[in-house]
A = this chain, B = another copy of it.
Amino acid sequence: MGHRLADTSSPARLAAPDEGIGRDELALATRNHGLPLEALRYDVTPPGLHYVLTHYDIPYVPDDTAWRLSVTGRVQRPLHLDLADLKGFPQVTTRVTLECAGNGRALLTPRPVSQPWLVEAVGTAEWTGVPLRLLLAAAGVDADAVDVVFTGADHGVERGVEQDYQRSLPIDVATGTEPEVLVAHAMNGAPLPPQHGRPLRLIVPGWYGMAHVKWLREVAVTDAPFTGFQQSVAYRLRQESGEEGEPVTRIVPRALLVPPGFPDFMSRARVVRPGTVPLEGRAWSGRAPVTRVDVSTDAGRTWREAELEPDDGRPWAWRRWHFGWTAAEGEYELSARATDAEGHTQPLQQPWNRGGFANNLVQRVPVLCLAKEG
């Protein structure tokens, strides 16, 4: 009777009714972090405020110059590149809004037990690197290529499976230009912070965070579909655990508002005083450009259109919106709702699946408007 991985790694499960957040979920919440919602004010999220989700440990990389990226598999000229080699390729900088596929999970009923996000697993950065299509062209992709598999240096066990973090993209996505996938070495003009993949990560504009493999060390072209854990077991939309499920891919639309006024420390509930309360926020979609944001100040009973600012030629970044609200004494629930050019919008009832993925239920922000100071 040896000690096995199954002794420490348990299957996915749903929380029981009224089960509070457990110690294991809390351990994830204190490591990983969201965007404090007041930081939606910045066009580009300052370092340390962008959301972070790490499956295992953040690899310790004391010397970037020793890092190598391999481009292997079904290619004619395998590549082994260091950072200097990568910087010799044409460089692109793209502003991208990244969101965790599990954003909103902790608000679901029943609650899938995993990283317990509320609504704040998002951030926007300027990512600089080499278009992946140029690396694949340099390697010469074979005609029978199907998938491209990306391997990170992060190692752990998940639901009993020991693994390096791995995800794949179909060859047409990997070599496409809408979006143009990057192998990035810089975030907001500086080398990647350790928690964002130093020294190299993938950036797949418009896709949820699981696709943006961090601590990237291998790009392998395959002639068969990749069926690794993060592709076939995790990150699937399932109602029942036995289903194959649809894969999680691009980001569905979401709008968030900067909670107005000031907070109560413990409840994070908001307090304003009567008068003009400017509301602002951001909206994004990885499916199509956001074309409309509506705001409700009465718990979703009525909606009015917000003013959406131009995208300034940055289709993969969130757009700012604002809305004038005149508050009178009372209690309110504020919401914002994004719609994109393909007609996708945010549901008012929870979209539910066992993983708690791609859940874009509208945000609800309770606000107390005090009596006038007298």
Contacts and interface: CB of A to CB of B under 8 A. Distances in A.
A168 to B, nearest CB: 19
Contacts of A113: 266
A19 to B, nearest CB: 6
A325 interface: no
Interface majority SS on A: helix, strand, loop or mixed?
loop
Given A3-B329, A157-B265, A195-B49, A30 B24 contact: no
Nearest to A26: B21
Interface stretch (A5-13, A333-341, A345-353): A5-13
Interface string A230-267: 00000000000000000000000000000100111111
A21 B20 contact: yes
A158 interface: yes
A324 interface: no
A116 to B, nearest CB: 6
A214 interface: no
B36 A54 contact: yes
Contacts of A331: 3, 7
Contact of A29 (B24, B26, B49, B57): B26
A195 to B, nearest CB: 6
A329 B352 CA distance: 41
A57 B33 CA distance: 15
A156 interface: yes
Contact of A48 (B47, B56, B155): B47
Interface in A325-374: 329-331, 368-371
A25 interface: yes
B24 A266 contact: yes
A114 interface: yes
B30 A195 contact: no
A106 interface: yes
B120 A31 contact: yes
A22 interface: yes
A27 interface: yes
Interface stretch (A38-46, A65-73, A199-207, A296-304): A38-46
Contacts of A265: 9, 55-56, 156-159
A193 interface: yes
A80 interface: no
B271 A118 contact: no
B21 A263 contact: no
A2 interface: yes
A10 to B, nearest CB: 7
A162 B41 CA distance: 24
Contact of A36 (B7, B19, B25, B57): B57
A28 interface: yes
A34 interface: yes
A56 B271 CA distance: 12
Contact of A58 (B21, B24, B39): B39
A193 B39 CA distance: 12
Contact of A46 (B5, B52, B118, B193): B193
B2 A371 contact: yes
Contacts of A8: 264, 267, 269, 271, 368
Contacts of A47: 47-48, 193
5 contacts: A3-B331, A3-B369, A21-B26, A29-B30, A47-B47
Q: Which 8 A-B pairs have the closest CB atoms?
A: A20-B20, A33-B33, A2-B371, A48-B48, A21-B21, A29-B29, A158-B265, A8-B269
